[in-house]
Structure 1
Amino acid sequence: MRLVTYSVGPAGAVRVGVRVGHRVLDIEAASRVKGEPLPSSLQALLIAGRGALSRVQALAKAATTDARPLTQAMYEERAIRFLPPIPEVKSILGLEGNCRPQAGEPAGKASPEPADFEMTASGFAGHDAKLAIPAGTSRHGFGAELVYVVGRTAENVEADDALDYVAGVTLLNRFGGRRAPGKAQAPGTIGPEIVTMDEIADPADLWVIATVNGESSCA
């Protein structure tokens, strides 16, 4: 499935949905139609576990086979505003040194343990949002990255079991740059959706392609 958090209109309420073709099905509204209410946020939905996600999958299938009962819960993509998939998240854990160098990049010594750093989630906007680059930032860059979304509480997990705790993946783009001292960090975007793990054949074989002014690079 492809799960999204969105609003309808600039000041609309925050909603959670699932993609059905080129449209989005409002999960809470659709579940009320079926008489089986589901959580109204993506975070709460993930916490509710696999049973809740299976019910979302059934709703999406029902909307595909016969959308008429769910018409009022369906939105065209152009009518919604994408928000960060899980707005409640306060921070995002980033990793460095866990990727092979790309063409034109200096080859460094690989580390057995990638270095981690923390990013403030409030610095990221939803897909297709307009971003304001802070004054004093020059030489704007970008960093398209893959985000693994942890779907349940995890502690001291063995490496071989790690993916059992991952609900899905999404995308993040950090618009970096050289900043004047004391200036806020440049913003970024995250989303538009969380792709659940059942749609991913090989989690170790995922590519991120960033295109800027017609030129693409991979990560």
Structure 2
Amino acid sequence: MKIAVVEYQSSVQVGIVEESQVFLLPQDISSSIEAIIHKGDRFVENILERKSTYESVSLSQVRLKAPLQNPEKIIGIGLNYKDHCREQNVPVPEYPLVFAKFSSSIIGNGDAICWNTELTRQVDFEVELGVIIGKKARNVSTQEALEYVFGYTIINDVSARDLQFRDRQWVRAKSLDTFCPMGPWIVTADEIPDPQALHLSTELNGVKMQNSSTAEMVFSVAELISFLSQAFTLQPGDIIATGTPDGVGVFRKPPVFLQNGDSLRMEIEKIGVLENTCKIIR
């Protein structure tokens, strides 16, 4: 199932996306995907069973918004692709490198990534598989970890590289407003039984910049969930941004940073396409 948050006729609703159609859930069923996740698997099954009773509109008639608006945690993972380590000429990490992004950085498909050049002039792109936790997870084993996944989405872990290297930690550089594009929807875990076999790519103004596979991950989705859950409780609706492959702008020769008016197109197999433009606000 593809589940999205859409704006239709000035109303924001949850919808089930099937090909070019969206089945709109009535507000009295649920007003957010977060609420659906918290209500559990049986509630999701009931939604699907009642789908034929919902209003159906064309996908072209709605505006897609970020599928999650205010998760408790957005957990980022650094250096989690072997090819990304190779492009930097650094060893693969022995343990996952964990950082945080603030939920105030979230925007949706079609929204503009914005920044102030007085703050940063080195804005970079990172296509990432986003993992949405479906139920409370603490001290989870690797073998059972995927049972805790609600679904998957695309995340652009936008990064202000000058701030990142100057601060010598990553939170500020990766949490500026609009620096977490997400979407276009969530694909439930049953449609992606193996998250380690997905092609992912980035195009900047129509030019392919990143082109890899989640098979390149140093730590798998299951390993990340298990590792994180040993340290702190993962809650329903939490997001794990699982790292990016090679091809980011900062390590190109010469470096390529985002500019005003740029267009980004990120695609992950079995999920879809996330598109955003870039806008310098000062």
TM > 0.5 fold call:
yes
CA-based RMSD: 2.5
Matched, 1:87 2:69: yes
Say which SS state the counterpart of residue 16 (structure 1) adopts.
strand
Partner of 1:212: 204
- Post-superposition shift, 1:128? 0.9
Q: Which of 82, 102, 105 lines up with 1:123 in the alignment? A: 105
**Does structure 1 conserve the Cα–Cα contact (< 8 Å) formed by 2:153 and 2:186?**
yes
1:44 alignment partner, one of 29, 35, 38: 35
How many Å separate the matches in 2 of 1:156 and 1:201?
22
Which structure: larger Rg?
A: 1
The 1:152–1:201 alpha-carbon spacing in structure 2 relative to 1, beyond 3 Å, is: closer
Shift of 1:4: 0.5
Over the matched positions of the two proteins, sequence identity in percent amounts to: 24
The answer (yes or no) to whether the contact 1:179–1:185 under 8 Å persists in 2 is no
Runs of 4+ in 1 over 3 A off after TM superposition: 177-184
1:175 to 141, 150, 158: 158
TM-score normalized with structure 2 length: 0.64
Q: Which runs of 5+ in 2 are unaligned?
A: 167-171, 212-244, 246-282
User: Unaligned regions of 5+ residues in structure 1, if any?
Assistant: 30-36, 63-68
Distance 2:6 2:129 in 1: 20
Pick from 15, 18, 26: which aligns with 1:17? 15
Tell me the CA shift for residue 75 of structure 1.
2.5
1:7 aligns with 2:16: no
Aligned to 1:54: 45
Cα deviation, residue 42, structure 1: 0.7
Distance 2:99 2:157 in 1: 14
SS in 2 for 1:160: coil
Partner SS state of residue 44, structure 2: helix
Of structures 1 and 2, the one scoring higher in RCO (CA 8 A, sep 6+) is: 2
CA contact (8 A) 2:85 2:92 kept: no
CA shift for structure 1 position 103: 9.4
Answer yes or no: is the 8 Å Cα contact 1:98–1:114 preserved in 2: yes
Partner Cα separation in structure 2 for residue 102 and residue 119 of structure 1: 20
Cα 1:169/1:120, change in 2 over 3 Å: same
Deviation at 1:40, TM superposition (A): 2.5
Deviation at 1:102, TM superposition (A): 4.4
